Chains A and B, each alone.
Chain A
Amino acid sequence: QQPVQSPQAVILREGEDAVINCSSSKALYSVHWYRQKHGEAPVFLMILLKGGEQKGHEKISASFNEKKQQSSLYLTASQLSYSGTYFCGTADSNYQLIWGAGTKLIIKP
């Protein structure tokens, strides 16, 4: 079951904050976040393994609520370099990631 990402797209001014959500109908073992710039391959951002765990990467952080089977990615004081499509991948106890459809983020100066 593909996780649901929301919103599908968001447009921000440089310096604004954004939240991208990823929800699953299945119990999750981990949530993975990747960013893909246009014409490039997806690049790993972070993995969250436990309920309530939070991680940070530059001004990008994420939370994982295992009970609610959802994760949120927080982009603070967005920079132009943050533009791209963000994908979440969810995994149960298996190895295989099921990918969301992506959230397109556009940052304007």
Chain B
Amino acid sequence: GAGVSQSPSNKVTEKGKDVELRCDPISGHTALYWYRQSLGQGLEFLIYFQGNSAPDKSGLPSDRFSAERTGGSVSTLTIQRTQQEDSAVYLCASSVGTSGPDTQYFGPGTRLTVL
């Protein structure tokens, strides 16, 4: 079956502009994660969705960042008034999510460059 897909694969934007990043999780996966990975660094947790529960937004670095998940499937990460420090690869992952931390399947990521 299809894996996690993300779009766009690359996004170049100007400082101050808003961007939307999209994630299509694996069908049937109830858990969805967003991470940020700066060049040569580890994974920084941003937000977590599980089914119909309220999302865990504890990793969002500022109120310029928001995310939603419609219909328990597709998710969009929005960054408002982008800054140069927002430049990074944004990774989405999904998992079955039935019990406890299980295998996360990652999408290819969106490379965001803020000029």
Contacts and interface: CB of A to CB of B under 8 A. Distances in A.
B106 A43 contact: yes
Interface string B4-29: 00000000000000000000000000
Contacts of A100: 42
Interface in A36-86: 40-44, 47
Contacts of B107: 41
Nearest to A31: B101
B100 A96 contact: no
A29 to B, nearest CB: 7
B96 to A, nearest CB: 12
Contacts, number: 55
Contact of A96 (B91, B101, B108): B101
Given A42-B43, A87-B43, A97 B108 contact: no
Interface string B95-106: 001001111111
Q: Which of A32, A91, A95, A96 is most buried by chain B, counting CB atoms within 10 A of its CB? A: A95
Contacts of A21: none
15 contacts: A29-B100, A29-B101, A30-B101, A32-B101, A32-B103, A47-B101, A91-B100, A91-B101, A95-B31, A95-B48, A96-B45, A96-B56, A99-B42, A99-B45, A100-B42
Interface of A: 2, 29-30, 32, 34, 40-44, 47, 87, 89, 91, 94-102
Given A30-B101, A99-B43, 13 more contacts: A30-B100, A32-B104, A44-B104, A87-B42, A95-B50, A96-B45, A96-B56, A97-B45, A97-B101, A97-B104, A99-B42, A101-B41, A102-B41
